[in-house]
């Protein structure tokens, strides 16, 4: 089995759009749907699709390398989606689950149910609308960053054991960032917590091995920077 | 055509042609009658102050009669001001010059001799129609205290109080609402009048000849009937005979009915008209806003967008035709007007200047059909306003574009894009979106370089970002018409450039102040 797979539950409007935007990634993409009609539709669109039952014991999923696999729960019915998230989390404590919700309320429930990341539809849409209206420049910047075609990117760099900046404070290496024309956005200290330490505030953060550095910059320059500091992209 | 007609027609034309005359007339008309004219408010307040001071002087006069400045002020100055106002109202109520010229042109068209008498009669009739209206009569009577020598005319001060109606919109609304129940009120008054008539005649017949009874005259009888029917019952006049008491019992019972009837009419008039009153008030509120976002349709997305915009200090007006949704929106304290966003009538009723007041129109209805329809309605007004619309079904995108939506937001697409990012660089994008959504204290924001800032700031280094805990991401340069990522310290900054920064909210606020110092 492929080690790095992507599983999408459901094949509604949202799931369809997710599947098609993930189509050209190198990962193996599998769709699991509840209704036979959805399975057919997914197969018709060219995806590997299977039917599942919510009361399943999920033995089928054990064939995946669950440490590397990401699961997206995008069932149309929110209650079913929450149930699915809970059952998956219960069965596979390690797997990374991304779940879709419409409202903020359901997003909170999904987080409680054990989703690693919840995308709240209403929230995301309204954020976009407001950005369009009030922050058009940021909106454009974001689109550029997301678009794989443009050179400006946001990339995460994992610091390795022997990186020479380990032990430095974030504020100390300002000059290094400037030299390479990259802007540090945030640091995630996976040891402490998964929350972000934004560079605007946490300049006193001391860099540890396995910290993840999130930077914005041109692709080439980021790669050069990563190489210089001994980080892994 | 004789000489007099000639002179009148000529002067009518001269008045019509004079721009100055027209301007003055329009100004007076606005001042007196146009609720949206900014000066009218102050004029109304001034008149109200005059009326109240007039009443105050009257009260003072009861016990301390003196001929000092206040009395003079009351008798002459206020009266003269009212007189001037009355004349102005009479002036603008109809356009005499136009009536005369149109009559003249009509006669000429039909090859008839000009009929001066008819034209004058028409003009006078127009004035008379206004002068005989209730509010005009009250105005006229309010001038009366001018003739202060006649004691009875003092009573007319009361009419000045009635005049207050003119200057307060709430009062006008009250009168209007009661007006909707004209038929019921008329029935009530007829009913009550009939009972009063019968009761007072009966009590008079029964009691007037009885020496023990306090009812002596027909006036006493009427007084008693009114006091009784209103359930006030002072008890100074009471029937003493058996027959009189029978009448009293009947009047008391019917009095309860009359009172209940009257109350129910007023209450039902108000409950039925609550929505229009509310709407009127909200429309007024919307009109007075300088800039606001107009959201058409109330959906879950509306609620989220509206509350976010409000938190950013923007004004939002929502149009929704479904009453239940309007109720829901009100529970969330949104300014929502119950009106169909897809009807041109709505925008006429709103009386807002879409071009100047509305920053953007957001179509956030649950259905694409409604959104397309509303977009077309707004575009049909031919006003250059930005329209942003939600899209629910991919296949309607072109229709929405065709209907005139400038920006189209398709939720499914955004979510799809998001999930792709999560699969590649999950942490990087999560950081980016955390900034974007504003869930943390740290935000990414745009700072506009305005005319005030540009006096001190010429280059990026003048922005003095270093040592402030602010990250400068880039500049949207007007001169180069593109976004410059991580600009060098000597990069030129111009007016209307936008700086994109990441910082804590409070830091950013303070930085903003520093930039404008």
CATH number at residue A13: 3.40.50.720
Residue A183 and residue A100 share a domain:
no
Model confidence over A55-72: pLDDT tens digits?
776 777 777 777 778 888
| Nearest residue in A to B360, CA atom | A133
B390 part of contact set with chain A, CB < 8 Å: yes
Q: Do A142 and B312 touch (CB under 8 A)?
A: no
Q: Is A137 in contact with B469 (Cβ distance < 8 A)?
A: no
Q: Is the pLDDT higher at B227 or at B435? A: B227
Model confidence at B148, pLDDT cuts 50, 70, 90, reads low
Asked if A132 and B388 come within 8 Å (Cβ–Cβ), the reply is: yes
Domain end position, chosen among A75, A109, A125? A125
**A211 domain-assigned:** yes
CB contact under 8 A, B427 and A154: no
**For residues B259-264, average pLDDT:** 88
Q: How much is the pLDDT for B273?
A: 81
Kindly provide the ipTM of the predicted complex, given to two decimals.
0.76
| CB atoms near residue B401 (< 10 Å) | 15
Which residues from B are below 8 Å from A132, CB to CB?
A: 388, 407, 409
Q: Which residue of A has its CA nearest to B306?
A: A126
Q: Are residues A25 and A104 in the same domain?
A: yes
> Is the CB of B424 inside 8 Å of chain A's CB atoms?
yes
Whole-number Å distance between alpha carbons of A198 and B421: 20
Q: What stretches of B160-236 adopt beta strand conformation (E)? A: none
The residue among B387, B410, B419 with the most chain A CBs within 10 A of its CB, best to mutate, is B419
pLDDT at B408 over 80: yes
Residues 81-100 of A with CB under 8 A from B: 98, 100
Q: At B484, is the pLDDT very low, low, confident or very high (cuts 50, 70, 90)?
A: confident
User: Which tokens is B475 given?
Assistant: 């500049």
Q: Which of A66-75, B121-130, B308-317, B383-392 shows the lowest per-residue confidence on average (mean pLDDT)?
A: A66-75
Identify the pLDDT of residue B282.
84
Tell me, yes or no, whether A32 and A118 share the same domain. yes
In a domain, A158, yes or no: yes
- A99 lies in some domain: yes
Is A146 within a domain? no
Q: B145 pLDDT band (50/70/90 cuts)?
A: low
Domains of chain B: 3-167 (no CATH), 182-273 (1.10.287.70), 290-413 (3.40.50.720), 435-515 (3.30.70.1450)
Q: When comparing pLDDT for B314 and B422, which is higher? A: B314
| pLDDT of amino acid B353 | 82
Task: State how far the Cα of B514 lies from the Cα of B517, in Å rounded to an integer.
Answer: 5
Would you call A170 exposed, middle or buried from its count of C-beta atoms within 10 A (0-12, 13-18, 19+)?
A: buried
pLDDT band at A1 (very low <50, low <70, confident <90, very high): very low
Answer whether residue B201 shows pLDDT above 90.
yes
**Stretch B171-196: mean pLDDT, rounded?**
86
Can you count the helices (H) and strands (E) in chain A? Answer: 8, 11
Q: How confident is the model at residue A157 (pLDDT cuts 50, 70, 90)?
A: confident
Same domain, A109 and A167: no
Boundary (domain end) residue, out of A90, A109, A125: A125
pLDDT band for position B113 (50/70/90)? Answer: confident
pLDDT higher than threshold 50 for residue B7: yes
Q: What is the pLDDT of residue B194?
A: 92
Tokens 């980016």, located at residue: B432
Q: Average the pLDDT over each of A9-13, A189-193, B371-375, B428-432 and give the range with the smallest value.
A: A189-193
How many structural domains are present in chain A?
Answer: 2
- Say whether both A10 and A111 belong to one domain: yes
| pLDDT of B147 | 57
Q: Which residues of A touch B443 (CB under 8 A)?
A: none
Q: Is residue A37 part of a domain?
A: yes
- Collect all residues with Cβ–Cβ distance below 8 Å to A201 and sequence separation of at least 6: B441, B442, B469, B504
In a domain, A140, yes or no: no
Whether residues A79 and A188 fall in one domain: no
CA distance B207 to B241: 7
Residue B221's pLDDT is 92
Q: Does a structural domain hold residue A204? A: yes
On the question of pLDDT at B149 being above 70, the answer is no
**Per-residue confidence band for B152, with pLDDT thresholds at 50, 70 and 90:** low
Among B424, B446, B502, the residue with its CB nearest the CB of A135 is B446
Give the one of B360, B428, B441 whose C-beta lies nearest to A154's C-beta: B428
3-state class (DSSP) for residue A95: coil
Task: Give the C-alpha separation, B203 to B244, whole Å.
Answer: 6
**In the predicted model, what is the mean pLDDT of residues B328-347?**
87
pLDDT over 50 at A128, yes or no = yes
Q: What is the CATH number of the domain that holds A203?
A: 3.30.70.1450
Same domain? For A53 and A157 the reply is: no
What burial letters (b/e) apply to B29-49, b meaning 16+ CB within 10 Å? bbbbeeeeeeebeeebeebee
Residues A66 and A113 placed together within one structural domain of the fold? yes
Chain B nearest-CA distance from A101, in A, is: 10
> Which range is least confidently modeled, B36-50, B310-324, B430-444?
B430-444
Between A217-231, B10-24, B249-263, the lowest mean confidence (pLDDT) is in A217-231
CA distance B509 to chain A (A): 14
Instruction: Choose the final residue of a domain: A85, A106, A125.
Output: A125
Query: Does residue A125 surpass a pLDDT of 80?
Result: yes
Question: Do A121 and A21 fall within a single domain?
Answer: yes
Asked if A90 and A192 sit in the same domain, the reply is: no
Determine contact: B490 vs chain A, CB below 8 A.
Answer: no
Q: Are residues A103 and A16 in the same domain?
A: yes
Same domain, A97 and A45: yes
Quote the minimal CA–CA distance from A18 to chain B in Å: 4
Q: How far is B13 from chain A (nearest CA, A)?
A: 52
Measured between alpha carbons, how far is A127 from A144 in angstroms, rounded to an integer? 17
Instruction: Collect all residues with Cβ–Cβ distance below 8 Å to A157 and sequence separation of at least 6.
Output: A212, A213, A214, A215, A222, A225, A226, A229, A231, A232, A233
- Judge whether residue A172 has pLDDT over 80: no
Whether B223 shows a pLDDT value over 90: the answer reads: yes
Whether residue A216 is predicted with pLDDT greater than 70 in this model: the reply is yes
Residue A201 domain boundaries: 152-232
Q: Which helix (H) or strand (E) holds B295?
A: strand B292-296
In a domain, A60, yes or no: yes
Q: Rounded mean pLDDT of chain B?
A: 84
Region B220-235: mean pLDDT is: 90
Residue A21: which of B407, B419, B445 has the nearest Cβ? B419
- Can you give the pLDDT at residue B193? 92
Convert the pLDDT of each residue in A2-14 to its tens digit: 447 888 888 888 8
């Amino acid at each position: 089995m492929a080690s790095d797979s992507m599983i999408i539950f459901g094949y509604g409007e949202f799931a369809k759009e997710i599947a098609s935007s993930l189509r050209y990634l190198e990962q193996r993409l599998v769709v699991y749907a509840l209704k036979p009609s959805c399975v057919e539709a997914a197969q018709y669109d060219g995806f590997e699709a299977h039917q599942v039952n919510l009361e399943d014991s999920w033995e089928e999923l054990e064939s995946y390398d669950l440490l590397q696999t990401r699961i997206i729960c995008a069932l149309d019915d929110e209650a079913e989606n929450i149930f699915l998230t809970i059952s998956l989390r219960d069965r596979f404590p390690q797997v990374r689950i991304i779940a879709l919700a419409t409202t903020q309320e359901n997003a909170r429930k999904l987080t409680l149910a054990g989703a690693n990341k919840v995308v709240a539809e209403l929230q995301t849409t309204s954020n976009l609308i407001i950005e369009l209206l009030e922050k058009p420049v940021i909106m454009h910047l974001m689109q550029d960053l997301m678009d794989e075609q443009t050179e400006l990117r946001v990339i995460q760099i994992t610091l390795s054991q022997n990186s020479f900046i380990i032990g430095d404070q974030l504020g100390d290496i300002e000059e290094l960032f400037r030299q390479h024309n990259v802007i540090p956005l945030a640091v995630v200290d996976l040891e402490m917590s998964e929350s972000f330490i934004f560079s605007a505030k946490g300049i006193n953060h001391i860099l540890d091995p396995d910290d993840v550095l999130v930077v914005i910059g041109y692709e080439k320059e980021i790669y050069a920077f990563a190489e210089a500091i001994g980080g892994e992209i | 055509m004789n000489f007099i007609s000639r002179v009148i027609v000529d002067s009518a034309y001269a008045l019509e042609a004079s721009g100055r005359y027209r301007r003055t007339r329009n100004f007076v008309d606005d001042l007196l009658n146009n609720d949206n004219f900014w000066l009218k408010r102050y004029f109304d307040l001034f008149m109200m102050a005059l009326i109240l001071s007039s009443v105050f002087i009257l009260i003072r006069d009861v016990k301390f009669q003196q001929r000092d400045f206040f009395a003079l002020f009351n008798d002459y100055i206020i009266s003269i001001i009212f007189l001037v106002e009355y004349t102005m109202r009479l002036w603008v109520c109809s356009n005499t010059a136009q009536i005369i010229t149109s009559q003249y042109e009509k006669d000429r068209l039909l090859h008839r001799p000009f009929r001066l008498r008819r034209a004058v009669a028409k003009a006078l009739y127009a004035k008379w129609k206004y002068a005989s209206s209730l509010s005009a009569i009250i105005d006229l009577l309010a001038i009366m205290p001018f003739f202060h020598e006649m004691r009875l005319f003092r009573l007319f001060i009361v009419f000045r109080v009635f005049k207050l109606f003119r200057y307060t919109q709430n009062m006008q609304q009250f009168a209007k609402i009661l007006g909707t129940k004209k038929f019921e009120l008329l029935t009530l008054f007829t009913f009550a009048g009939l009972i009063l008539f019968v009761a007072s005649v009966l009590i008079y017949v029964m009691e007037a000849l009885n020496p023990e009874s306090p009812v002596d005259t027909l006036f006493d009888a009427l007084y008693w009937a009114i006091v009784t029917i209103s359930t006030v019952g002072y008890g100074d006049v009471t029937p003493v005979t058996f027959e009189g008491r029978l009448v009293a019992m009947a009047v008391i019972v019917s009095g309860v009915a009359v009172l209940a009837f009257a109350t129910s009419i007023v209450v039902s008039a108000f409950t039925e008209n609550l929505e229009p009153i509310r709407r009127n008030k909200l429309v007024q509120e919307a009109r007075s806003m300088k800039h606001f976002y107009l959201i058409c349709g109330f959906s879950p997305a509306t609620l989220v967008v509206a509350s976010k915009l409000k938190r950013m200090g923007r004004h939002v007006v929502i149009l929704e035709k479904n009453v239940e949704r309007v109720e829901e929106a009100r529970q969330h304290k949104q300014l929502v007007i119950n009106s169909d966003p897809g009807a041109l009538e709505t925008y006429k009723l709103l009386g807002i200047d879409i071009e100047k007041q509305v920053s953007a129109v957001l179509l956030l209805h649950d259905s694409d059909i409604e959104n397309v329809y509303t977009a077309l309605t707004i575009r049909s007004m031919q006003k250059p306003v930005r329209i942003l619309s939600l899209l629910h079904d991919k296949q309607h995108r072109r229709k929405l574009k065709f209907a005139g939506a400038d920006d189209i937001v398709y939720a499914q697409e955004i979510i799809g894009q998001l999930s792709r990012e999560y699969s590649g660089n999950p942490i990087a994008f999560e950081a980016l979106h955390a900034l974007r959504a504003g869930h943390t204290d740290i935000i990414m924001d745009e700072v506009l370089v305005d005319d005030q800032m540009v006096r001190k700031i010429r280059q990026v280094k003048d922005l003095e970002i270093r040592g402030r805990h602010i990250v400068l991401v880039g500049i949207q340069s007007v001169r180069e018409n593109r976004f410059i990522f991580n600009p060098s310290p000597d990069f030129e900054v111009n007016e209307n450039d936008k700086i994109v920064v990441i910082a804590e909210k409070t830091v950013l606020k303070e930085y903003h102040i520093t930039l404008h110092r």
